[in-house]
Each structure stands twice: as C-alpha cells, then as structure tokens.
Structure 1
Amino acid sequence: MSDTAQRLLRLLSLLQTPRDWSGPELAERLGVTARTVRNDVDRLRGLGYPVEGIRGVTGGYRLGAGAELPPLLLDDDEAVAVAVGLRVGATQGAVTGIEEAALRALTKLEQMLPSRLRRRVSGLHTYLVPLPHVGPRADADTLTAIAAASRDHERLRFDYAGHDGSTGRREVEPHRLAHSRGRWYLVGWDVARSDWRTFRVDRLRLLTPNGPRFTPREHPGGDLAGHVATGLATATWQCRARVTVRAPAEHVRDRLPSGVRVEPLGDDACVAEVGSDTPQMLACYLGMLGADFEVTGPPELVAEIRALAGRYRRAVPEGAP
C-alpha cells in the first residue's frame, strides 16, 4: 500500500471520531503539512466521503452523514464489539425483525476481519452459551416509529394494555426509549393524566397518524434512568409499606432492588418504601434485610409478620441448642 493510501486511511479514521479536527491538528497527527491535509481532504471528497469543512477560529473538519457513506473504518476493539453485538442481536435480542439482518451483517464483518481478530471473535462465540430471550419482544418497526416521533416532537396515539389486563387509549408526548431486563419502555408525558408515565412497548399498538407537534418538556430531576428504575421496581406492587430499619441506609440499599427509595435517619437507621405482590412475600423479604425493623401498617402486613414470628418461634423447640 502506498504512503498516500495509508495516510488517507489514517485521516479517514481520525475524521470518524465524534469531534471537529483543525487543519494543524490533523497535520501534526499525520506528520504532514496543512496543505497536504487540504489535498487529502479533497481526495476523500472525490472518493465519495462527505467531509465537511467549517471556517473560523473554532472551525475544522468533520465527517458528515451521507446517503451513500462508504464502509466505516473500525479499530480492533470496535470491530470485536460490533461482532459481539451483532451475535447477541441475531440470537437473543429483545427486538423482533432484526435477527436475519444482524446475522447477514455479522457474516460480512467476519469475512473482512484479519486473522487475529477472527480468532478473538471465534473464541467468544465458541465459549459463550446464548440463552434465548425469555418474555415478550418489541417490534423493530414500533421502536423506530417511537424514536422518530420523539425526534420530531410529535405526539403518539396508541392502545395500551396495562399489567392488570385493562386496556385504554393513550396520547403521549414521547421523551425517550429505555431498555431494562430484556424489555423496552417508552417514557413520556401522558396528556390526559398530566404526568410522566412509563409504558411497555410490547403492550402498545400505535395508531396513525401521529398527533400534533409539541414543545419538549424537561424531565423532573433530570435522572431518567432513576425514574425508570423506580417505576419498574414498584409498578406492580399490591402491598406497600413505609418501614423503619435499624441499620445504615447503604446496608439496606444493598439488599433491595434498585430504584427502591431509602431515606437515611442518621448513621444507624433509615426509612425504606418497600412493597411486593402479597403481604406474605413482603414479610419474608423484610426478614432478609439482616437488621431490626419496625412496621406500623398496612394491617395485613402487620398480621403476616406476627404470624411469621410465631411460626419461627415454634420451629425451634425449647431447650434446643
């Protein structure tokens, strides 16, 4: 390969990073003059690469988006990451309709990998046991439509089936898509309820056309991940309680699902807002906190804890070591 060709590949690799490069920066990286950089940029443009030039003190070069962008250059770690991601998408992803496309792309990529990388990827595939995805999957077209409406600030209208089996029509200002525990969620502003809501994508059926455009809202607190985690941890609870635990907050947080609210009460106590499907399950979970706790309600939880305490006392005969 000629020096010019090698330099062009190196220049293209630099331009694919998400930043602007000044002419002097590129010249220093490539060990050439600024004039050579300008000539090389013109060569890349002639080959079909949309290299944008921005004038001014803060200007520079960047690789723009194009309808027919030639193949990307990937370094070793990027190539392995893409190969692994495609394998997961082809065998155990949570999105329907992409398995065949992911497998085709993986085949093409592996054919172009140098032998040293092909061995790394082959080793991962050989010794990874792909467990099939369990549970509902989201449709790729639905995810794409939601993402497009979020980008274009258009309301979504859809029929939605709740976890309790009820169905209803919703109109939502879409904010973000989130993925957790193998499921996809839409986070948005529910117009009728005037509040933020989280919806499982596999439970909604989009209606067309979309609703009117809207002005995007700022999510309260800015912690979208925390909002989704809290919603997922608490959405289906049928029994809820506010419990005082005689242990540091960090001790309790480590033993509860992420998203459960725990408020410190000094160094050696805290209050946890906990819940579960039934009072029986919640009573057992509280016993696994590894600390003393106080419960004042609801009455069915108090009754269950008393019954469980008596059962444990009777389980150990008097005089047992």
Structure 2
Amino acid sequence: MTTDTPARLLQLLSLLQTPREWPGGELAGRLGVSRRTVRRDIDRLRELGYPVQAARGAEGGYRLVAGKAMPPLVLDDEEAVAIAVGLRAGAGHAVEGVDEASVRALAKLEQVLPGRLRHRVAALSTATMALTSSDGARIAPETLTVIAAAAAGRERLRFAYRAHDGADSRRLVEPYRLVSAWRRWYLVAYDLEREDWRTFRVDRVADPLATGARFTPREVPAGGEAEYLRQSLRRRKSVYALVVEFEAPAEVVAARLPAAFGTPQPLGSDRCVVRAEVGDAVEWLAVRLALLDLAFTVREPAALVDAVRTMADRLRGAVPDVP
C-alpha cells in the first residue's frame, strides 16, 4: 500500500496515461488503497488540471481525456529516452515551427533527465543519426540545447565563433532566439562587446557556455528576430530571389514543391511561376527542381541558371551514345 499521497498520485497518473479505461476496483488494487481513496485522488488530479473522465455504472471506470490545456506528463525511462531521441531528430529537420519547438522541448527534457538516461539518449542518437545543415556541417545536439536553455532563461552566453572568412573570435552575447532557416540554425543575439545585434550560424559555434548572469531583455529590432535574420542574410547575399516557371498547372506544382517555396502563381491553365526567397546552395536547388519531374525554366538567380546548365551538361555526358 502506498501511504505517500504525492507518490500515489504520480503512480495513479502514470496508469491513467495509458490509453484505456480503468475500473475503480482495478485502480484500487494496483495502488493498494480503497475505492474511496481512488475517488479522492481522482478529484485531486482534476483540481491540478488533469481532465479525468468517470464512466457510470456499478463498477465505474476512469480515463484521461483531452483537455483545454497540456498538463505535465509522467514518463517511464523508456518513454523519456524515446521522446528525447525523437526530439533530437525533429530538431535536425527544416519543418517550419516543429524544429524550433523540438529544441525548446528537448532543452526542458534534458534538463531533468537522470544521468543514466542522458547516456542512453546520447548513445542511441550517435548510433542512428547526425544533425547536419544543408552544406553538411554537423551540429552537436548539446550545442542547440545549451543555447536554447540560455535564451529561455535570459542568461548571457559565451562561445567561440568562426566567421565565414575563417576568423576566430570569442563572443559574449545576450541570446534571444534560435531560428531555423533553409536547413540551417541561426542564433539572433545582442553582442555585448560590439554593442549591436548580430546573427550567428550555429554550426560555426563552439563550446557554448551559459555564464549564469541574467540580462534584462532589450527591445528587439523591428519585425522581430526572424525578420532581423532575414534582412541580415539579404545584406550578406546569403539569401537570393528564386523565380522559376513551370509548364504545369499551379495545383500540380504545389503538390510536389516543398511548402517553404511558397504558393505557385498561375500564368494560365497549364503554366505557373514560383517566386521565393531561398538560402540553399544552388547545386542542391538544381537537383531538387529536377526531381520534381516537371518541365521548368529558371529565370533567377543567375547562379542557379548556371548550376542547372552545368548539371544538364554533366548528365548528358554521362549517357553513352547508343544506336
């Protein structure tokens, strides 16, 4: 019999999170208490925000149903490891919104994981996948979670950084937001030594360390952190305008094209045009467009036109002349 009420509530909650209906007598037997105690514990869970539904009848039954809010979950070891590994996978994919949410959730989960489970998560993740940006640069999951935790806790962050030209520096920043864009991670932060806002590619960050020093949030640049990143990349010419015309109806192209490319605009019943801002390597875009299996013409940028022409020549030369 569990006499510790908090421990008994956690055990009861763990049982109810199994997707089934639990008869009151079975719950009482599992917990080693009376049915009356089970009813009182159910009432306590409801007061804490857990939507427990009771079934009518002589035996009576209880089940956890969907509510208006998401209360805390109770996870066993295997469930916690599975979720952590899944979140690491989600953090490494450019699914709009999901990747950033995955990193925030992963930072919270790894903060409370026991040491024995952290080792299991790290071992499984290393054996099954690697987080990469679009150019193949690897990012350690720990780097993402340290930065995410510092940003969420409004804690100053120190790290080593290698710029595009190879120059190394040490940075002390106020981290505001991790942004996933074009299969890369960026940190938008206020650089204390340069006294200005900056963006950092996370795959060029090394040895991030939360200093423990809190900071008062500043007013972010107009449009928010994501817009500041977009403007910064435009200035660096890391983002360019894509214009591609397709010899296919807009709805056909929309069904095959990733959502990040935007909505195709009709140019008639059987033609359309796609206009979007992209930050991927032009070689990758050339391959991605070819894999759509649709006739297309690249109008902009010039670098992509050259990449498609080079790829076409290379593929043409790879096919032997057969009578």
When the two structures are superposed, what TM-score results if normalisation uses the length of structure 1?
0.46
When the two structures are superposed, what TM-score results if normalisation uses the length of structure 2?
0.46
